[in-house]
Structure 1
Amino acid sequence: MGLFDRHAGLLDAYRDVRTTGYDPFQIRMERVLSPTKAIINGRETLLVGTNNYFGLTFDRSCMDAAIEAIEAEGTGTTGSRIANGSYTEHVALEREIAEFYGKKHCMVFTTGYQANLGVISTLAGPDDFLLIDADSHASIYDACKMTQAEVVRFKHNDPSSLEARLRRLGDKPGNRVVVLEGIYSMLGDRAPLGDFVNVCKKYGAYVLIDEAHSLGALGDHGRGLCEVAGVIDDCHFIVGTFSKTLGAIGGYCVSDDPDFDILRVTVRAYMFTASLPPSIVASVRQALRVVKARPELRTQLWDNVATLYDGLKAQGFTLGPEHGPVVGVHLPDRMTAIGFWRAMLDAGIYVNVAVPPATPNGVSLLRCSLCAVHTKEQLDHMVEVMTGIGRQFGVLPDKQLRAAGAR
Structure 2
Amino acid sequence: MLAKYRALREDHAAVSAAGRDPFGVAFDTVLSATEATLDGRRVLLLGTNNYLGLTFDRDCVAAAVAATEAEGTGTTGSRIANGSYGGHEALEKRLARFLRRRGAMVFSTGYQANLGTLAGLAGRGDHLLLDADSHASIYDGARLAGAQVTRFRHNDPDDLRRRLRVLSSQPGDKLVVVEGIYSMLGDTAPLREIAAVKREAGAWLLVDEAHSLGVLGAEGRGLAEAEGVEAEVDFVVGTFSKSLGAVGGFCASDLPDFDVLRIASRPYMFTASLPPSVVASVARGIDAMDARPELRARLAENGRALHAGLAAAGFALGAGPGPIVSLRMPDRETAIRFWNLLLAEGVYTNLAVGTATPGGKPLLRMSVSAALTAEQLAFAVAAIGRVGAALGARGDNDTAAAAVAAAE
- Give the one of 339, 360, 363 matched to 1:362: 360
Return the alpha-carbon distance in structure 2 between the equivalents of residues 11 and 157 of structure 1.
Answer: 34
- Give the one of 248, 270, 292 matched to 1:250: 248
Shift in Å, 1:400: 7.9
SS in 2 for 1:29: coil
Matched, 1:107 2:78: no
Matched, 1:4 2:3: yes
**Deviation >2 Å, runs of 4+:** 2-5, 7-13, 396-403
Matched, 1:67 2:65: yes
Question: Mapping of 1:167-186 within 5 angstroms?
Answer: 167-186=165-184
Shift in Å, 1:13: 2.6
8 Å CA contact 1:94–1:107 kept in 2: the answer is yes
Shift in Å, 1:172: 1.1
Aligned residue identity for 1:378: Q
In structure 2, the partner of 1:330 is 328
The C-alpha deviation readout for 1:12-71, integer Å capped at 9, x for no partner, is 431221112310111001100000000112211000000000110000010011111111
In structure 2, the partner of 1:24 is 22
In structure 1, the partner of 2:148 is 150
Aligned residue identity for 1:177: L
Question: Mapping of 1:12-51 within 5 angstroms?
Answer: 12-51=10-49
Return the alpha-carbon distance in structure 2 between the equivalents of residues 396 and 300 of structure 1.
Answer: 27
The C-alpha deviation readout for 1:179-209, integer Å capped at 9, x for no partner, is 0100000000000001000000000110000
TM-score calculated relative to the size of structure 1: 0.96
Matched, 1:193 2:191: yes
In structure 1, the partner of 2:306 is 308
Shift in Å, 1:231: 1.1
The C-alpha deviation readout for 1:313-351, integer Å capped at 9, x for no partner, is 111101112211011110011111011000011011100
Aligned residue identity for 2:2: L
8 Å CA contact 1:16–1:335 kept in 2: the answer is no
In structure 2, the partner of 1:284 is 282
- Give the one of 161, 164, 174 matched to 1:163: 161
Aligned residue identity for 1:3: L
Shift in Å, 1:362: 1.5
8 Å CA contact 2:314–2:396 kept in 1: the answer is no
Shift in Å, 1:164: 0.7
Shift in Å, 1:233: 1.5
Return the alpha-carbon distance in structure 2 between the equivalents of residues 138 and 316 of structure 1.
Answer: 31
In structure 2, the partner of 1:124 is 122
- Give the one of 295, 298, 322 matched to 1:297: 295
Return the alpha-carbon distance in structure 2 between the equivalents of residues 286 and 210 of structure 1.
Answer: 22
SS in 1 for 2:210: coil
Aligned residue identity for 1:96: R
Return the alpha-carbon distance in structure 2 between the equivalents of residues 282 and 387 of structure 1.
Answer: 41
In structure 1, the partner of 2:405 is none
Return the alpha-carbon distance in structure 2 between the equivalents of residues 4 and 118 of structure 1.
Answer: 31
In structure 2, the partner of 1:390 is 388
In structure 2, the partner of 1:265 is 263
Shift in Å, 1:398: 4.7
The 3 A distance-change label for structure 1 pair 389 and 362 is: same
Aligned residue identity for 1:330: R
8 Å CA contact 2:315–2:395 kept in 1: the answer is no
Return the alpha-carbon distance in structure 2 between the equivalents of residues 368 and 260 of structure 1.
Answer: 36
In structure 2, the partner of 1:90 is 88
Question: Mapping of 1:208-219 within 5 angstroms?
Answer: 208-219=206-217
Return the alpha-carbon distance in structure 2 between the equivalents of residues 380 and 184 of structure 1.
Answer: 25
Return the alpha-carbon distance in structure 1 between the equivalents of residues 174 and 397 of structure 2.
Answer: 54
SS in 2 for 1:25: coil
SS in 2 for 1:46: strand
Paired residues in the alignment total 401
Return the alpha-carbon distance in structure 2 between the equivalents of residues 163 and 34 of structure 1.
Answer: 46
Shift in Å, 1:169: 1.1
SS in 2 for 1:179: strand
The C-alpha deviation readout for 1:249-305, integer Å capped at 9, x for no partner, is 000000011111111011111101110011100000000000111100111001100
The C-alpha deviation readout for 1:69-96, integer Å capped at 9, x for no partner, is 1111111001100001001110000001
8 Å CA contact 2:191–2:227 kept in 1: the answer is yes
SS in 2 for 1:24: coil
Aligned residue identity for 1:143: G
Matched, 1:235 2:233: yes
Q: Which moved more, 1:183-192 or 1:357-366?
A: 357-366
8 Å CA contact 1:101–1:232 kept in 2: the answer is no
The 3 A distance-change label for structure 1 pair 402 and 209 is: closer
SS in 2 for 1:44: strand
Return the alpha-carbon distance in structure 2 between the equivalents of residues 96 and 181 of structure 1.
Answer: 23
SS in 1 for 2:365: strand
Identity %: 54
- Gaps in structure 1 of 5+ consecutive residues: none
8 Å CA contact 1:132–1:179 kept in 2: the answer is yes
The 3 A distance-change label for structure 1 pair 400 and 312 is: closer
Return the alpha-carbon distance in structure 2 between the equivalents of residues 397 and 16 of structure 1.
Answer: 28
- Give the one of 343, 346, 364 matched to 2:344: 346
Return the alpha-carbon distance in structure 2 between the equivalents of residues 311 and 400 of structure 1.
Answer: 14
- Give the one of 271, 274, 285 matched to 2:272: 274
The root-mean-square deviation of aligned C-alpha atoms, in Å, is 1.4
8 Å CA contact 1:328–1:365 kept in 2: the answer is yes
